[in-house]
Structure 1
Amino acid sequence: MDLLLASTPAPDTASGGFDLIGTILWPLKWVVELVLVAWHWLFTAIGLPPADGITWVLAIVGLVIVVRAALIPLFVRQIKSQRKMMEIAPELRKIQEKYRGKRDQLSREAMSRETMALYKKHGTTPVSSCLPLLVQMPIFFALFSVLNDVTRHAQQGVGGVGLLNAEATQQFYDAKLFGVASLHETLIDAFNTGNTTAIVILLVLVVLMIASQFFTQLQIISKNLSPEAKTGQAYQMQKIMLYVLPFAFVFSGVFFPLGVVIYWFVSNLWTMGQQFLVIREMPTPGSEAAKAREERLARKGKAIDSSGKVVPISKYEAEQQRLLEEAERAKAQAPKRQQPVSKQRAKKQAQKRGGQSPTTQPGS
Structure 2
Amino acid sequence: MSLDWIYWAISWILLRWHSLWEMIGISDGTVLGTNWAWILSIIFLVVTVRVILFPVFVKQIKSQRAMQALQPQVKALQEKHKGDRETLQKEMMELYRKEKANPLMGCLPMFLQIPVFLGLFHVLRRLDPVQTLNTTIYGWTQAQWDSAVHAKLFTAPIAAQFGSSTAELEGMGANGTTVKVIAGVLVLIMMATTYLTSRQMILKTGWAEDPQQRMIQRLMLYGIPASLLVSGAIFPIGVIIYWVTNNLFTLGQQQWVLRKYPPPVINTKDGKAVPGPGARKAAAPQQQEKPSRFGRSKANGAVQDTKPAVDGRALAPKPGAKPVNPKKRKPAKRQG
Interval containing the TM-score (normalised by the shorter chain): 0.7 to 0.9
CA–CA separation in structure 1 for the residues paired with 2:135 and 2:79: 59
Does residue 129 of structure 2 align to residue 129 of structure 1?
Answer: no
The share of aligned pairs that are identical, in percent, is: 33
SS in 2 for 1:117: helix
SS in 1 for 2:159: coil
Map of 2:162 onto structure 1: 187
Aligned residues of 1:64 and 1:267 also touching (Cα < 8 A): yes
CA–CA separation in structure 1 for the residues paired with 2:123 and 2:153: 18
Does residue 36 of structure 2 align to residue 54 of structure 1?
Answer: yes
CA deviations 1:2-24 (Å, max 9, x no partner) are xxxxxxxxxxxxxxxxxx3xx0x
Q: Paired residue for 2:8, among 12, 15, 30?
A: 30
73-82 vs 202-211, which moves further:
202-211
Does residue 173 of structure 2 align to residue 173 of structure 1?
Answer: no
Map of 1:73 onto structure 2: 55
Aligned residues of 2:18 and 2:37 also touching (Cα < 8 A): yes
Map of 2:326 onto structure 1: none
CA–CA separation in structure 1 for the residues paired with 2:80 and 2:278: 37
- Unaligned 5+ segments in structure 1 are 1-19, 296-302, 324-364
Does residue 187 of structure 2 align to residue 212 of structure 1?
Answer: no
CA–CA separation in structure 2 for the residues paired with 1:286 and 1:201: 42
CA separation of 1:99/1:271 partners in 2, compared to 1, >3 Å: closer, same or farther? same
CA separation of 1:157/1:249 partners in 2, compared to 1, >3 Å: closer, same or farther? same
Q: Paired residue for 1:252, among 231, 241, 266?
A: 231
CA–CA separation in structure 2 for the residues paired with 1:131 and 1:100: 30
The letter for the 1-side match of 2:63 is: S
Identify, as 1 or 2, the structure richer in helix.
Answer: 1
1:197 Cα shift?
1.8
CA–CA separation in structure 2 for the residues paired with 1:318 and 1:241: 49
Aligned residues of 1:221 and 1:239 also touching (Cα < 8 A): no
TM-score by length of 2: 0.72
CA–CA separation in structure 2 for the residues paired with 1:99 and 1:34: 54
CA–CA separation in structure 2 for the residues paired with 1:223 and 1:141: 31
1:237 Cα shift?
5.2
1:238 Cα shift?
2.5
CA–CA separation in structure 2 for the residues paired with 1:131 and 1:318: 46
CA–CA separation in structure 1 for the residues paired with 2:88 and 2:67: 17
CA–CA separation in structure 1 for the residues paired with 2:50 and 2:58: 12
CA–CA separation in structure 2 for the residues paired with 1:159 and 1:208: 35
Map of 1:202 onto structure 2: 183
The letter for the 2-side match of 1:142 is: G
CA–CA separation in structure 2 for the residues paired with 1:161 and 1:267: 27
Does residue 122 of structure 2 align to residue 145 of structure 1?
Answer: yes
Which structure has the bigger radius of gyration? 2
The letter for the 1-side match of 2:163 is: I
CA–CA separation in structure 2 for the residues paired with 1:189 and 1:77: 40
1:318 Cα shift?
5.1
Aligned residues of 2:135 and 2:141 also touching (Cα < 8 A): yes
Aligned residues of 2:13 and 2:45 also touching (Cα < 8 A): yes
CA separation of 1:72/1:290 partners in 2, compared to 1, >3 Å: closer, same or farther? farther
- Unaligned 5+ segments in structure 2 are 170-174, 268-273, 290-296, 304-336
Map of 1:357 onto structure 2: none
Q: Paired residue for 1:243, among 222, 228, 240?
A: 222
Aligned residues of 1:147 and 1:259 also touching (Cα < 8 A): yes
Aligned residues of 1:51 and 1:172 also touching (Cα < 8 A): no
CA separation of 1:237/1:112 partners in 2, compared to 1, >3 Å: closer, same or farther? closer
CA separation of 1:290/1:89 partners in 2, compared to 1, >3 Å: closer, same or farther? closer
